[in-house]
């Protein structure tokens, strides 16, 4: 394969060869479902949606697992605050997650395990760690991981143990032998609801956050698999702790390659619920169509920080309209991509170099410019086919360009006919008047050899 991927573990681009020929096994950390997904979550889901799509385009079978964390402190707290069961809250949030992801054209993963379905597997790993002296029980009933007893700790984050600090979800508690130790099993608190409690040989309790992903990934993909992904914020402590747990228990490398997507920033700060600077996917969808949001995310490289603002989303919408305008000029001929075609070859080279979507999108604009010049249905077909690998440009061009119109389509078409008649009569002043009047109403006309089409713009633009 010609595909190269940046491996966070080695800090280098590596040629990608699946462990099992022709089959990629990929695990991506999903959402903690106590609230609606925000645009930062969308970025991670979209990044790995593009990854799995391109792996399939490259002729590989992909088993893609993206988990759901449905038991965790924030979930318990929110359910209690709402006066509802944990299951009611998580079912509702998972349904909302699917709704939002589907709207953005994010394909469903092969498996979407819930953490609560894998508690026996978590307890099995904890038992193995205890047998190997890597886990210990506390007087309070918790079971902790002994970080300093795992020789490889810190290899993903690239820091020594003395440099590392306990992460935001790893509160230092009494009974820890070291501040870096993290909880594998939490003893039940009397105030917590019964549905947050499981029976175990360690007493009644529930799993820690990190052990959940170790159990789900290994159960569904094996003890060693190809790709583990997630947001850059998960690199430490979550992914570092997953490595310690899984490799400590199984004496095998957990994932051959680690991928991390960059943040979406607002005013140069990471978008997050804890900072209160987040925009939910559905809030943004009230102002922008789903494909504009997808394009906004996809046209930037998955590892780069991405700044959120209305200006950037407006720019994405206008850029996407330019691509659809080219496709509106001629009926795109259905094509099977010939990867030896110069444009297709450049597109593939970009995607094969760590999923280089900015360069791939640039190829789409080159093809759009060629469609504008030649009005070739074959070139339009190639444009549409390449864009499909990114989940873009599959809507009807006219319908997309006219979406959101506040004027009656029949009225616009009647005005276009009147304008054509005026031009035929060489009454160019009237022709210009009709064009200007429609533009003031938010409708822009585009003339081509095939006739006149129209698109929606901001009124008065």
Q: Partners of 264 in the beta sheet?
A: 306
Does 273 carry a binding-site annotation?
yes
Structure tokens, 197: 């409690």
Show the DSSP H helices in 265-356 as ranges.
281-285, 290-298, 310-328, 342-352
H or E element in which residue 61 lies: strand 61-66
Count the neighbouring beta carbons within 10 Å of the beta carbon of residue 133: 10
Question: What's the rounded Cα separation, in Å, for the pair 457 and 168?
Answer: 45
448: left (phi over 0), alpha (psi -120 to 50) or beta: beta
Question: What's the rounded Cα separation, in Å, for the pair 376 and 264?
Answer: 38
Does 423 carry a binding-site annotation?
no
The DSSP secondary-structure symbol of 164 reads: -
Q: Cis omega before residue 179 (within 30°)? A: no
Q: 175: helix, coil or strand?
A: coil
- Asked if 323 and 393 count as a contact pair (C-beta separation under 8 A), the reply is yes
Question: What's the rounded Cα separation, in Å, for the pair 157 and 235?
Answer: 6
Structure tokens, 40: 């930062």
Does 81 carry a binding-site annotation?
no
Considering only CA atoms, give the Rg of the chain.
26
Indicate the burial class of 245 (C-beta count within 10 angstroms; 0-12, 13-18, 19 or more): buried
- Which residue do the tokens 């029976």 mark? 199
Does 341 carry a binding-site annotation?
no
The DSSP secondary-structure symbol of 237 reads: I
Count the neighbouring beta carbons within 10 Å of the beta carbon of residue 352: 19
Question: What's the rounded Cα separation, in Å, for the pair 451 and 442?
Answer: 20
Phi/psi of residue 96, nearest 5 degrees: -65, -40
Please report, in range form, the residues annotated as the binding site: 29, 213, 238, 242, 273
Binding residues for Zn(2+): 29, 213, 238, 242
Q: From the annotation, which residues make up the binding site for ATP?
A: 273
């Amino acid at each position: 394969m010609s595909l190269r991927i940046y491996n966070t573990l080695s800090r280098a681009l590596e040629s990608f060869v699946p462990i099992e020929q022709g089959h990629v096994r990929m695990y991506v950390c999903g959402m903690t479902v106590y609230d609606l997904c925000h645009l930062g979550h969308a970025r991670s889901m979209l990044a790995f949606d593009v990854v799995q799509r391109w792996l399939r385009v490259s002729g590989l079978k992909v088993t893609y697992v993206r988990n759901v964390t449905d038991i965790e402190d924030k979930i318990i707290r929110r359910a209690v605050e709402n006066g509802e069961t944990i299951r009611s809250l998580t079912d509702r949030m998972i349904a909302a997650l699917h709704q939002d992801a589907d709207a953005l054209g994010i394909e469903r993963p092969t498996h979407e395990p819930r953490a609560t379905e894998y508690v026996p597997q978590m307890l099995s790993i904890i038992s193995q760690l205890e047998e190997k002296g890597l886990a210990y029980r506390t007087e309070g009933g918790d079971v902790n991981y002994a970080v300093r007893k795992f020789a490889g700790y810190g290899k993903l984050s690239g820091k020594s143990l003395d440099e590392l600090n306990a992460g935001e979800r790893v509160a230092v508690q009494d009974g820890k032998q070291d501040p870096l130790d993290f909880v594998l099993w939490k003893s039940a608190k009397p105030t917590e609801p019964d549905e947050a409690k499981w029976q175990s040989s360690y007493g009644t309790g529930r799993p820690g956050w990190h052990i959940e992903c170790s159990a789900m990934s290994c159960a569904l993909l094996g003890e060693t698999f190809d790709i583990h992904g997630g947001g850059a914020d998960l690199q430490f402590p979550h992914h570092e702790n997953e490595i310690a747990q899984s490799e400590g228990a199984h004496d095998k490398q957990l994932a051959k390659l680690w991928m991390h997507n960059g943040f979406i920033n607002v005013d140069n700060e990471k978008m997050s619920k804890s900072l209160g600077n987040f925009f939910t996917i559905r809030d943004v969808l009230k102002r922008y169509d789903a494909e504009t949001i997808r394009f906004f995310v996809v046209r930037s490289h998955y590892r780069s920080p991405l700044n959120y603002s209305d200006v950037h989303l407006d720019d994405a919408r206008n850029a996407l309209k330019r691509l659809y305008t080219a496709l509106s000029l001629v009926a795109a001929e259905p094509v099977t991509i010939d990867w030896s075609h110069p444009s297709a070859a450049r597109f593939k080279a970009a995607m094969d170099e760590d999923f280089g979507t900015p360069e791939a999108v640039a190829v789409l604009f080159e093809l759009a410019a060629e469609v504008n010049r030649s009005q070739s249905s074959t070139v339009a077909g190639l444009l549409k086919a390449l864009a499909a690998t990114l989940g873009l440009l599959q809507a009807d061009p006219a319908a997309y360009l006219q979406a959101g119109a506040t004027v009656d389509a029949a009225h616009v078409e009647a005005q276009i006919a009147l304008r054509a008649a005026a031009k035929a009569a060489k009454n160019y002043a009237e022709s210009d008047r009709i064009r200007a009047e429609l533009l003031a109403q938010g409708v822009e006309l585009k003339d081509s050899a095939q006739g006149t089409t129209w698109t929606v713009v901001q009124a008065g633009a």
